């Protein structure tokens, strides 16, 4: 695992959007801790690149609505990547959006090798993050492949971490996992659904890559009770296409969670 502290070379992302259609900020005491966890293997790297292209939008919306938000990032490949890039690369929860920008901009693509990826290691590393007491806690897992130990042997989990054990541990800490499946592999769907169910999170299937950033923002807004306001903002800006509206309906239908 590679732990990143980051540098301060890029322009700050901390400027907030103005305008009367922006979601109102939550109470100052409201804290949100959220991690973005991405599969960075070849089939998935384009999704991360899309997030890169909309970093200003992502950071500004969250910073304005949730001033005390902290964000972490966990990038993961597979065990075969250990000697060339990384199995996991981690940015701990931080309020410094410059570090987040640096990390997402610079994180490398991984190879992945076989179909399952080291999702179990991403879950393990998320368990190690500095979650704040009293915060709303969420993990957004974005991938197209299952962890090891689902369609292959548990012995394929080379570092000895089991996806179900790590998921249960996250759930006990009050961390909801929003699983975002890219593609339609049935094994991925089955295990991503179970991961979300264990943690009282939500399983979502992403039909269009271009919807990802607004989905990430919407998940944060849901956690602090501002999903309806953000949906209205998307409507006002003519940014709510049918596939995005479907995702928001799924988030809204689980409002009791």
- Please answer whether residues 235 and 245 qualify as being in contact, where contact means their C-beta atoms are separated by less than 8 angstroms: no
Model pLDDT, residue 3: 64
DSSP state at residue 24? P
CA 52 to chain centroid, in Å, comes to 13
- DSSP lists the bridge partners of residue 141 as 37, 179
User: pLDDT tens digits, residue range 32-62?
Assistant: 999 999 999 998 999 999 999 999 999 999 9
Terminal Cα distance for the chain, rounded: 32
Q: CA 251, CA 249: separation in Å to the nearest integer?
A: 5
Instruction: State residue 210's pLDDT score.
Output: 96
Residue 28 pLDDT exceeds 80? no
Predicted confidence at residue 17, as pLDDT, reads 36
Contact of 48 with 71, CB cutoff 8 Å: no
Choice among 2-11, 119-128, 240-249 with the minimum mean pLDDT: 2-11
Q: How confident is the model at residue 6 (pLDDT cuts 50, 70, 90)?
A: very low
Q: What is the predicted pLDDT for the residue at 254?
A: 67
What average pLDDT does the chain have?
Answer: 91
- Give the C-alpha distances (Å, rounded to integers) separating 6 from 31, 77, 90, 95, 102: 23, 20, 11, 13, 6
Q: Which domains does the chain have, with CATH numbers?
A: 34-253 (3.40.50.410)
User: Cα-flanking dihedrals φ and ψ of residue 13, to 5°?
Assistant: -110, 15
| Rounded mean pLDDT, 189-193 | 98
pLDDT digits (tens, 9 = 90+) for 217-242: 999 999 999 999 999 999 999 999 99
**Residues in the chain, overall count:** 257
3-state secondary structure of 190: helix
DSSP symbols for 207-236: --GGGHHHHHHHHHHHHTT-HHHHHHHHHH
Percentage of the chain lying above the pLDDT 90 cut: 85
Query: Contact 221/22 with Cβ under 8 angstroms?
Result: no
At 27 the pLDDT is 55
- The candidate with the shortest Cα–Cα distance to 118, out of 167, 81, 68, is 81
| pLDDT of the residue at 218 | 98
> How deeply is 5 buried, as exposed, middle or buried, from its count of CB atoms within 10 A (0-12, 13-18, 19+)?
exposed
Is the predicted pLDDT of residue 30 greater than 90, yes or no? no
**What pLDDT does 8 receive?**
38
Pairwise CA distance, residues 140 & 121, whole Å: 15
pLDDT digits (tens, 9 = 90+) for 86-133: 999 999 999 999 999 999 999 999 998 889 999 999 999 999 999 999
Which CA distances in Å does 90 have to 69, 81, 87, 168? 18, 15, 10, 21
**What per-residue confidence (pLDDT) applies to 114?**
85
pLDDT score of 257 more than 80: no
pLDDT number for residue 14: 39
CA dihedral 21, 22, 27, 29 (to 10 degrees): 180
Structure confidence at residue 7 (pLDDT):
40
pLDDT above 70 as % of the chain: 87
CA pair distance 142, 41, nearest whole angstrom:
12
- For position 248, what pLDDT does the model report? 98
């Amino acid at each position: 695992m590679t732990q990143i502290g980051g540098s301060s070379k890029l322009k700050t992302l901390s400027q907030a959007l103005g305008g009367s259609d922006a979601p109102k900020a939550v109470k100052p005491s409201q804290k949100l801790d959220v991690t973005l966890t991405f599969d960075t293997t070849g089939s998935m790297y384009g999704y991360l690149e899309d997030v890169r292209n909309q970093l200003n939008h992502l950071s500004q919306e969250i910073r304005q609505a949730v001033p005390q938000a902290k964000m972490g990032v966990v990038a993961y490949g597979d065990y075969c990547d250990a000697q060339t890039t990384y199995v996991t690369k981690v940015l701990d929860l931080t309020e410094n959006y410059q570090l987040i920008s640096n990390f997402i901009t610079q994180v490398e693509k991984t190879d992945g090798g076989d179909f399952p990826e080291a999702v179990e290691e991403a879950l393990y590393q998320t368990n190690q993050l500095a979650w704040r007491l009293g915060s709303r806690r969420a993990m957004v897992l974005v991938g197209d492949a299952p962890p090891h130990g689902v369609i292959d042997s548990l012995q394929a989990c080379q570092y000895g971490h089991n996806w179900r054990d790590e998921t249960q541990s996250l759930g006990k800490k009050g961390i909801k996992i929003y699983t975002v499946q890219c593609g339609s592999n049935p094994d991925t769907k089955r295990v991503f659904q179970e991961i979300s169910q264990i943690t009282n999170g939500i399983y979502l299937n992403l039909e269009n890559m271009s919807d990802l950033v607004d989905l990430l923002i919407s998940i944060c807004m849901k956690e602090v009770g501002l999903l309806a306001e953000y949906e209205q903002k998307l409507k006002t800006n003519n940014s709510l296409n049918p596939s995005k509206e479907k995702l928001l309906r799924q988030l809204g239908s689980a409002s009791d969670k």
